[in-house]
Each structure stands twice: as structure tokens, then as C-alpha cells.
């Protein structure tokens, strides 16, 4: 990383999980990082001390320069002191408040991007707060109707048309308008934040063998093909619908910049197999850059010094690269 790298607002997520640990450990391993943690400062100090690290954690207030060498912290107090491995619903409001504050730091403050640690949806809902996930919460904060979940690993990116739905509901949720919006948002993000002048997207079919000409389902003929034809007529470089069982062979992956999958478990098992421990969750369509770790709170190992910083490191690297990207000057044709 360069010495002039962007400032990143980072929320460690669930205080009883591994989020605080991987944040302070990452800072200790990368002291040149320009991170602004939005968290309870005392919690980060306790975590640092328990790991035997020497991370210097300093209070940050508006107007203070965020320089490398220390972990700057916009102090956000917990409702109740954390116990590693035992999430407390009393701290659900704290988790959401860190996100609200971090978004403000990105949209109107010193930070160029948001990086989020893992949250525990169940505990937040147990507190009486309806919460379906980071992505939906951030979209609501930003006033955005349609966002896209992209996961990226070295050598592969996958955008999802539908996300956390039971499989029996996927076909009904797949509409021409939704598919078109996902392709457009993905296409724009590849140009604006990844420096790809002419993005190449591989669009998967929904059914086995991409419907096999209507014999195994008609979503390809009635929904996917018309959208692809429309967008290709506008000049987009799209291929599909491609059968999912052949889409991920190396030549096909090499020939595209992103795979657009119709549902969660159509594309993500391959990506996570290829990039285990190095995958990044990226939310496209927000008015700011947001990346995230691609793992949960890992309550079973929290507080034991066993957590790996790999996915957080990749999320930070991706956020840095996206923030530094200048479109169209840095694009390739």
C-alpha cells in the first residue's frame, strides 16, 4: 500500500465475535494502514491487551488528521461490556449505531470507503430490532432501492440477482426488471470502481442446462434471453444464458470479468472454493464504496487468538483499490 492511501472507516461488527480481534490484529500487522475504527475504544484496548499486541489506539475527533501508525477510533460506547463468544442483545443498538456513524464518515467525512466486520443477525433480531442484513440496512440508510451483492476472490467475481431466499421462491423473484437492474449496476461498477473500460459479463441460466430450449423450464426464454438481447443492443458485452455447470471452467472464467448468478448457491460455492479465506463481499449500487469480510462472527473461537485476518485484509485491499480507482483515466478498453 502507498503512504497516501485512502482513509477507510471500519466497523468490527458483533462485539462478542472475532471482528474486534481481526481488526486490531490487522492493524498490528499493517501499521501503515489509515483505518478509522468506529467502535468502542475500551473494547479495542481490551482486545489488544488480551492478544498481547502493541497496537496504539487513539481517540479520533472531527478535524484530527488520520495518519498511519496508530488505530484511530471514533469512540462509540457499548451498552454492556462484551463477553467473547456470548453475544448480548443489549449491544444490538451499538452495532447498528456504528454502521450509521461510519456511513456518515464516508458520505460526509474523512473516509473514502466503508469496510464492515461480521454481525450476528439473530442477536439483533432478538433485541426487538428487525434486521435482515448489512446490505439491506445500508441500502435503507442510503435511500437506495436496488443494490447488488457481489463476491470477489482472486480470479473470479460473482454478482447475485437474488440473495437470501428459499430456493422455492427464486423463480418468482426473478423478473426482467430485477435482472436488468443487476446487470446495469454490475456493469457500471466494473467501469467506475474496477477500471474495466468494456466489461464482459457471463449471465447464467436459472435451470439445468439453461432450460434446454424450454424442456427444463422457460425462465431463460421468457426472462433472461430478452434482457440480454436488450442490453446487448445497447452495446454491452454479455454472454448467456450459460448453463451453470459449464460456466466456471477456466477458459470461460478467463473470458469474462464477472459472472451474474441467478441465486445465492448457484455461484458462491465455486467462488468460495476458489478463494477460501480470501473472498470479499462488495455491495454495488450504494452511493459509497462498501466491502466486507466473507465470514461470520465465529463465536466458537472468539477471544482465543485464533481468528485469521485474511478476509478482512482482502476487504481492505479491495476498498483501497476501489477508492483509488479514477474512471475513466485508469480504465482499460
Radius of gyration of the chain (CA): 20
DSSP structural state of residue 59:
E
The pLDDT score that the predictor gives to residue 274 is 86
> Quick check: 297 and 324 in contact, CB under 8 A?
no
* Domains 1-144+286-333 and 148-277 fall in the same CATH topology: yes
Break the chain into its structural domains and give their ranges.
Answer: 1-144+286-333, 148-277
Place of cell 440480454: 228
Q: What is the CATH number of domain 1-144+286-333?
A: 3.40.718.10
- Give percent of the chain above pLDDT 90: 82
CA distances from 307 to 52, 91, 149 (A): 14, 22, 25
Report the alpha-carbon distance of residue 39 to residue 41 in Å, rounded: 6
User: Predicted confidence band at 327 (pLDDT cuts at 50, 70, 90)?
Assistant: very low
Report the alpha-carbon distance of residue 13 to residue 37 in Å, rounded: 11
CA distances from 226 to 118, 179, 213 (A): 38, 10, 14
Q: What is the mean pLDDT of residues 269-275?
A: 88
Report the alpha-carbon distance of residue 185 to residue 147 in Å, rounded: 8
Report the alpha-carbon distance of residue 151 to residue 311 in Å, rounded: 12
Q: What are the cell numbers at 79?
A: 451498552
So what's the architecture of 148-277 in CATH?
A: 3-Layer(aba) Sandwich (3.40)
Looking only at the bridges linking them, the beta strands covering 148-153 and 280-284 are antiparallel
- Whole-model pTM: value is 0.89
Structure-derived torsion over alpha carbons of residues 216, 158, 107, 20, reported in degrees to the nearest 10: 120
Mean pLDDT over the full length of the chain: 92
Nearest residue to 264 (alpha-carbon basis) of 204, 220, 189 = 204
For the segment 189-211, what is each residue's pLDDT rounded down to a tens digit? 999 999 999 999 999 999 999 98
Element (H, E) at 283: strand 280-284
The pLDDT score that the predictor gives to residue 165 is 87
CA distances from 123 to 17, 142, 163 (A): 12, 24, 21
Q: For residue 65, is pLDDT > 80?
A: yes
Amino acid at each position: 500500500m502507498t503512504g497516501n492511501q485512502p482513509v477507510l472507516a471500519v466497523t468490527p461488527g458483533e462485539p462478542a465475535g472475532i471482528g474486534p480481534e481481526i481488526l486490531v490484529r490487522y492493524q498490528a500487522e499493517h501499521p501503515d494502514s489509515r483505518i478509522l475504527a468506529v467502535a468502542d475504544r475500551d473494547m479495542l484496548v481490551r482486545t489488544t491487551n488480551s492478544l498481547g499486541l502493541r497496537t496504539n489506539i487513539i481517540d479520533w475527533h472531527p478535524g484530527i488528521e488520520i495518519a498511519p501508525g496508530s488505530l484511530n477510533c471514533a469512540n462509540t460506547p457499548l451498552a454492556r461490556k462484551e463477553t467473547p463468544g456470548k453475544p448480548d442483545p443489549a449491544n444490538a443498538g451499538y452495532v447498528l449505531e456504528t454502521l450509521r456513524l461510519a456511513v456518515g464518515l464516508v458520505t460526509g467525512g474523512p473516509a473514502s470507503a466503508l469496510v464492515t466486520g461480521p454481525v450476528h443477525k439473530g442477536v439483533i433480531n432478538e433485541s426487538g430490532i428487525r434486521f435482515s442484513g448489512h446490505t439491506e440496512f445500508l441500502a435503507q440508510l442510503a435511500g437506495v432501492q436496488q443494490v447488488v451483492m457481489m463476491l470477489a476472490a482472486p480470479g473470479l467475481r460473482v454478482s447475485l440477482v437474488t440473495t437470501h431466499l428459499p430456493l422455492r421462491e427464486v423463480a418468482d423473484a426473478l423478473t426482467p426488471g430485477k435482472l436488468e437492474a443487476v446487470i446495469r449496476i454490475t456493469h457500471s461498477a466494473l467501469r467506475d470502481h474496477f477500471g474495466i473500460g468494456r466489461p464482459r459479463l457471463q449471465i447464467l441460466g436459472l435451470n439445468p442446462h439453461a432450460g434446454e430450449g424450454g424442456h427444463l423450464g422457460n425462465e431463460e426464454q421468457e426472462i433472461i434471453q430478452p434482457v440480454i438481447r436488450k442490453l446487448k443492443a445497447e452495446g454491452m458485452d454479455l454472454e448467456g444464458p450459460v448453463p451453470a455447470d459449464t460456466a466456471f471452467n477456466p477458459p470461460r472464467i478467463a473470458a469474462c470479468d464477472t459472472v451474474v448468478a441467478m441465486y445465492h448457491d448457484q455461484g458462491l460455492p465455486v467462488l468460495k472454493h476458489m478463494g477460501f479465506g480470501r473472498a470479499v463481499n462488495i455491495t454495488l449500487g450504494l452511493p459509497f464504496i462498501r466491502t466486507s469480510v466473507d465470514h461470520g462472527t465465529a463465536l466458537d473461537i472468539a477471544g482465543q487468538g485464533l481468528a485469521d485476518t485474511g478476509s478482512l485484509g482482502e476487504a481492505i485491499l479491495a476498498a483501497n483499490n476501489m477508492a483509488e480507482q479514477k474512471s475513466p483515466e485508469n480504465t482499460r478498453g
